[in-house]
Structure 1
Amino acid sequence: MRTWRIAIEKVALDRSCEGARKSGGHWHSEGVPALYAAMTVELAVLEKFVHTEEVDEEPLVLVAIDLPDDPELGLDVAREDLPEGWDSLDDGGSAMLFGTAFLKKREHLYMRVPSVIVGEGVNLVINPAHHAYEQVKLSIARSFSFDPRMFKR
């Protein structure tokens, strides 16, 4: 299964997920590594865009993330199974606690969750501590830059 992310070029292929481990994120706490991806390029662009301040950021690339085609490795999480407030910008940590618990269990390579930005979209939280992570392939598909018109809000 191919998934996507937009990343800063110099760390795009960092399989250790060191940056995410240091900073934490919506679905994981600081100190726990995670790799985020989107099911479509378009959603990957939107996910990066909401975390980008200006068009002249460091060089970006489109990263293809190929996961093993074994459905048993994934966990689909339905909206109704997520904690209350998971999609709020002022969540208070419910999504982070939920995702961190998922990552620490190491039962699945990834979980599919709805996007906060586009509710019909699907994002993945990939667990680099899972035994099947060695089968995950990251590759740079191409360079990427935002259309400057996106920043004229």
Structure 2
Amino acid sequence: MVVYRITNAKYKEAILSGVGAELYGGRWNMTGTRAVYCSQHVSLALLEYYIHAENIALLPKEILVAEIVIPDNLNIHKLQVLPKQWNTYPYSPNSARVFTEMVVHDAILGLQVPSAIVGLESNIILNPLHKDFGKVSVKAFHNLPIDPRPREK
């Protein structure tokens, strides 16, 4: 499986650390739990990056997209039953507990969940502390030129 993650070039070396999610929490993880949020498509990864920016006008002019390879023999769990209010903002503690509880039990390497922005597409949340995480790799980084028009809105 190939997934994508967008990053500012200055954070390139930490792309798979999960530290940002650990510090701030997210829709599917509680603060204090490392998580690496990825998307099935570059376009969704970019949209997620924009949505989570505090001020789109301050985003870096050059960003990178990481092409991340998850070997097919590794288990990515598809969440079958979504918690109540999983797609609300601010994030519901119901959804934040899902990944966090799975990580505590070291049960999964990754979790496939629908995007709250584009519900027909999925995000993959990876557990960087899982025993098999070392088998996940960045195949390549690609410069992603950004259209300046969203900054001007």
Instruction: State if a TM-score over 0.5 links the two structures.
Output: yes
- 1:137 alignment counterpart: 137
Offset at 1:128?
0.7
SS at match of 2:46: helix
Aligned length: 150
Aligned mate of 1:64, from 67, 71, 76: 67
Instruction: Write out aligned runs for 1:3-152 (5 A).
Output: 3-14=3-14, 15-52=16-53, 53-58=55-60, 59-70=62-73, 73-78=75-80, 81-152=81-152
Unaligned runs of 5+ in 1: none
SS at match of 2:34: coil
TM-score, with length taken from structure 1: 0.89
Offset at 1:56?
4.1
Offset at 1:92?
3.1
Q: Which amino acid aligns with 2:47?
A: L
Query: How many Å separate the matches in 2 of 1:90 and 1:30?
Result: 14
TM-score, with length taken from structure 2: 0.89
Q: Which amino acid aligns with 2:117?
A: I
Q: CA RMSD in A?
A: 1.7
Offset at 1:32?
0.9
Q: Percent identity?
A: 27
SS at match of 1:13: helix
